[in-house]
Chains A and B, each alone.
Chain A
């Protein structure tokens, strides 16, 4: 799809209106590849035919989901999971005194992030069963949530980031797929949610994973999302962003804390509500 073409403009506007996600011109090839997949899945000839459908108001949700869903891997960037295991969870558990721990994986995509959190809990905190820990995993895309909820991963996905021992212990081969065992699945609840729209969460999450999400939004939307996160999370809760993201110049109330190479954010105590 030619940059600057009417089709490219139409798609950019459509995706922005529906998801507040800004598509920049460098992503042309990626967008075309993803749309090609959407077109084929719908039995259409090519991307042009798909855009024709979208102009008539059809296939819009499929297009937005196809473009905004990104690939990920188990234990992506590693360090946040080390921080979770070694510092963040032990500290919160001490303060919570037995109260259920709530973790939110926002924009969970095909589920590698919430399953990595569940694996961390199972391995390092076996005492935290489903009655003591809850992972809420949300994404814009209903289609991707269906896949994530099933906990089925392709071999290529299992290869990526997941130590072999954890693969055999917590996943079961089902034909071409590896499926997460109930001991992981029971910790996670999957729900559709558009971060760019109005939302609220209860119970308040103690830990928020909002990684590699803000980069897709424009600055006013980033501000709004971070503000809503601040209002919704536990007052002493912890926020993880992507390795290349920061609250700096977006919402400067957040204080950066470090554990090894991992960085995470907290609101100062006077922000308590």
Chain B
């Protein structure tokens, strides 16, 4: 399975990437929503996108809105991975089309658990 990790922090991308590789994913990275969108348009959608909320150029929330407006990426699951933890924000992300939501900080077993919920665990 394939995943894209979208986060403006290189360190955070590395942490998430390591956890996903351990789960058997092939992983590519993007530093913001626009870069991720370009990658999707170029190489097609992976099975999963893990998206930070606050990023320059295009936020994770805007990325979700853009992606869900384009029907061709509907099969891709989206997981918001963010320090934003207000209930209203979780609701907004789900309404916009995120399939799951992880609040930072988190441990690898949380990610594993969320993959299970999305039917993406090995």
Interface residues of A (CB under 8 A from B): 73, 78, 155-156, 158-161, 163-165, 167-168, 171-173, 178
Contacts and interface: CB of A to CB of B under 8 A. Distances in A.
B48 interface: no
B116 A155 contact: no
B102 A159 contact: yes
B66 interface: no
B110 interface: yes
B46 to A, nearest CB: 20
B85 A155 contact: yes
B100 interface: yes
A165 B94 contact: yes
B90 A160 contact: no
Given A78-B116, A155-B85, A171-B87, A164 B110 contact: no
Interface string B83-117: 00111001101100010111101110110010011
Contacts of A158: 103
A218 B98 CA distance: 47
A168 B103 contact: no
A201 to B, nearest CB: 32
B95 to A, nearest CB: 10
Contacts of A164: 90, 93-94, 98, 100-101
Contacts, number: 38
Contacts of A155: 85, 103
A154 to B, nearest CB: 10
A173 B86 contact: yes
A206 B101 CA distance: 35
A183 to B, nearest CB: 15
A6 B106 CA distance: 38
A178 B107 CA distance: 19
B87 A173 contact: yes
A78 to B, nearest CB: 7
Given A78-B116, A164-B100, A159 B110 contact: yes
A173 B90 CA distance: 11
Shortest Cβ-Cβ A-B pairs, 7 listed: A164-B101, A173-B87, A168-B91, A159-B110, A168-B90, A168-B87, A155-B103
Nearest to A158: B103
A168 B94 contact: yes
Nearest to A178: B87
Interface string B29-43: 000000000000000
B21 to A, nearest CB: 21
Nearest to A164: B101
A58 to B, nearest CB: 35
A189 B107 CA distance: 31
B122 to A, nearest CB: 15
B113 A160 contact: yes
A156 B87 CA distance: 14
B86 A159 contact: no
B94 A159 contact: no
